[in-house]
Amino acid sequence: MVKDRTFIFASFEQRQRHESGFFTSNVAQGLTGSVTLPPLAAGFPSQTLRNITPAQAAYINGLLANSATAPLGIAYAYLASGGGNTALTGFNPLLATGAPFTPGTVIGSRFFLSGAPIPLSTANSQGQLIAFRPLQSLQTVFPVTDKTTFNSFRLDHLITKKHQLSFRFGYNPSTTTGIQVESQNQSLGQNDFSRTGIQRLKDYSAVVTLASTLSSKTVNEFRFNFGERRALFKSQNGDAVAFNISGTAFIGRELFSPVIRTETRYEWTDNINILVGNHTFKFGGDYASVNIPSAVFELNFAGLFNFGGLGGCTLVVQLCSPGLPTPPDFTPVQQYGLGFPINFIQGYGNPVSRISNKPMAWFAQDSWKIRRNVTFNYGVRYDYELTQQVAPVGFRDPLSGINLSASDILAAQDAVNVQQGLPRDRNNFAPRLGLAWDIKGDAKTVVRAAAGMFYDHPLLAIAFNSDIADAAQQQQGILTPGSPDPRSLVNAVQVFQGTVVVCNFAGAIPGVNCTPGVASSAQYQTGRQRFNDQTFPGFGPVLPFTVPVNKDFVYAYANQANLTIERQLTKDMSISAGYLFVGAHHLPHPLDVNAPRTDLQIQNFQRYANRLPTTTTEALLVGGSCPGPTCFFPSNIAAGATFTNPLLPGDTLVNIVPGMIVLSP
């Protein structure tokens, strides 16, 4: 704009991509076997059972050949074929032989184990299916798009001969759809369209630099940097419950979504160079303010069912009777159709966190030309981060009624030496040395050596996760398999098959006419195969995980050293040999700080039974129904009710949490 003083540059670039993504998994892979059953009762036709594996077909035919084992073969065949048909089509064509169905009727779109209807038509406001999905109806081709724009502006202005100003600005919006996620270790091509991600980014940046020549031997550079990122990641179907069917299909909402975050950064940097004799000194420092005023992260809020295969004897224990061949396992697909997941995980609570950090540093260094052919560099850098200190919050378990104040949570964290947020590491001094030696002073043979310490900056995600995944602000409910009977202790099978009955009505008696282990304030969402993520049902038999930070956490650093010898052979050729050493220390890694203490479990059993346990299972005091052999922590007695200690006659106990916690007055 002004000759030899002001220069302006601007650019615009846009990239667009439109292509197809594919769900390539063969959902019926391996289910190529079939068997034919004779009429099972008067009026029954013969039936051909399909969608089983060849190994299962051979096993069934072997049992059918013997009249004594034929009933077991029929039971196994109904489970295997019914599970396969239901998973693939949402419909079981087999004829029912007894309760909970009317004998002789088609089982149809109902779960074989409970008779409950399969939620095939549950949809959100956009018409997307959000519950059970027949695998053969999954979309095999879906759109993938990418639209990214790069906008930049540059201004260089020579204020005076001693002062030059530079300004840079960038704005880069981006939208990408159809992202194949791998957070559950799935292979590409196994994600249903509902599990693919949508990412929207808006990046802003501005940099102002002022370079000033203060004297013939002093130069200063000041820089101010502003940056902001607005990020959104969500699933194609944000309302669907998630199913992980190992090796076959991953359906429903991505478990690490949505993520909504705005991050703003302000940074000031100043460097000054001073030439004194044979020394070139450089001093500088920087200060930054990083602020995340709102970050939304819903971990497992949609609910997740895992299917990895099911033992052949799990549902019919007589199949493992002595003398019988071992039944083949049910495949993950058949397990999905049977409605018998390995586990169910759902997140609850407040998904919003706020994190800030103020990293700062200073350094001093000197480049000393000792002789014409020897230069020695030495210096030190200091890093410090004014990390946000996160205070714990209180929590009330709606199932047991146990109240934990913020001070109680803090005491628990202190007991295992952990905290929320990153500790402040104050001794991060990093010295560095370097040497360059031209051996003969003819620029033919040069030896270079250097050594130093370099500190890492831990990810703010560590602090964020420790704050939000604390089991108080957010809770992770974990349920294991069990009976679909609504009177059984709450389990993953009930949630999947829709047989949970919350004890929130007049005359409700847990274990009699409603489901024990669920807080009365919980809302089970019939047809969605999950709970309301804002009404935590209470901690179950598997306690949730937390991801705090150790109070002794220090920043990782690396010791680096190198030695290089270089020799010029000709004007256009040289040879060099080098050695590099890197030693990393204090690398962040996960650590189980609350591993089971068998000694304390044994002490707990001794207090309960007034004797030592005879087995490891007994030492765990596994809950069960009363009366019964595992009536240690009864699951069919209401909270607050009393019962007699089966291991210590005359001792009366109060049931605090059915199947989990009892109290001896």
Q: Is 285 exposed, middle or buried (0-12, 13-18, 19+ CB in 10 A)?
A: middle
As a whole number, mean pLDDT of residues 605-610 equals 79
pLDDT at residue 628, rounded to an integer: 61
pLDDT at 651 over 60: yes
| pLDDT recorded at residue 632 | 66
443-491 residue pLDDT tens: 899 999 999 999 999 988 899 999 988 889 999 999 999 999 999 999 9
Mean pLDDT of the chain: 92
Residue 365 has pLDDT above 60, yes or no: yes
Q: Which residue intervals of 327-456 are DSSP H helices?
A: 332-338, 406-415
pLDDT, one tens digit per residue, over 514-526 is 999 999 999 999 9
The pLDDT assigned to 542 comes to 76
Residue 617: CB atoms within 10 A of its CB come to: 10
Confidence check: pLDDT of 656 > 90: no
Inter-residue contact 545 to 525 (CB < 8 Å): no
Q: What is the pLDDT of residues 540-591, one digit of tens each?
A: 777 777 899 999 999 999 999 999 999 999 989 999 999 999 999 999 998 8
CA distances (Å), origin 74, targets 68, 181, 341, 399: 12, 41, 23, 41
pLDDT in tens, 141-168: 999 999 999 999 999 999 999 999 999 9
Residue 281 in this model has a pLDDT that exceeds 70: yes
Predicted pLDDT of residue 402 = 86
> What are the backbone dihedrals phi and psi of residue 260, each rounded to the nearest 5 degrees, phi first?
-125, 115
Q: Which pLDDT score, from 0 to 100, does residue 99 have? A: 85
Three-state secondary-structure class, residue 82: helix
Confidence bin at 604 (pLDDT 50/70/90) = confident
Residues 6 or more apart whose Cβ sits within 8 Å of residue 289: 265, 266, 267, 356, 358
Tokens in use for 34?
Answer: 């079939």
- Percent helix, strand, coil in the chain, to 5, is 15, 45, 45
End-to-end CA distance of the chain: 88
Residue 622: predicted pLDDT? 59
Band of pLDDT at residue 658, cut at 50, 70 and 90: low
Is residue 284 within 8 A of residue 220, CB to CB? The reply is no
| pLDDT for 629 beyond 70 | no
pLDDT in tens, 26-73: 999 999 999 999 998 888 899 999 999 999 999 999 999 999 999 999
One-letter amino acid of 294: S
| One-character DSSP codes across 227-284 | EEEEEEEEESSTTPPEEEETTTEEESS-TT--EEEEEEEEEEEEEEEEEETTEEEEEE
Tens digit of each residue's pLDDT (9 = 90 or more) over 492-507:
999 999 999 999 999 9
Percent of the chain whose pLDDT exceeds 70: 95
Cβ contact 211:163 at 8 Å: yes
pLDDT value of residue 626:
59
Least confident of 127-136, 182-191, 214-223, 427-436: 182-191
Give the span between the Cα atoms of 335 and 312, in whole angstroms: 10
Report the pLDDT value the prediction gives residue 306, as an integer from 0 to 100.
97
The C-alpha atoms of residue 420 and residue 298 are separated, in whole angstroms, by: 18
Contact of 435 with 376, CB cutoff 8 Å = yes
* pLDDT at 197 exceeding the cut of 70: yes
- The percent of residues in the chain predicted with pLDDT above 90, rounded, is 80
**Which tokens hold the place of 119?**
């939620």
The CA distances from residue 629 to 417, 515, 647, 657, in Å, are 39, 21, 10, 19
Query: Residue 316 has which token pair?
Result: 């019919």
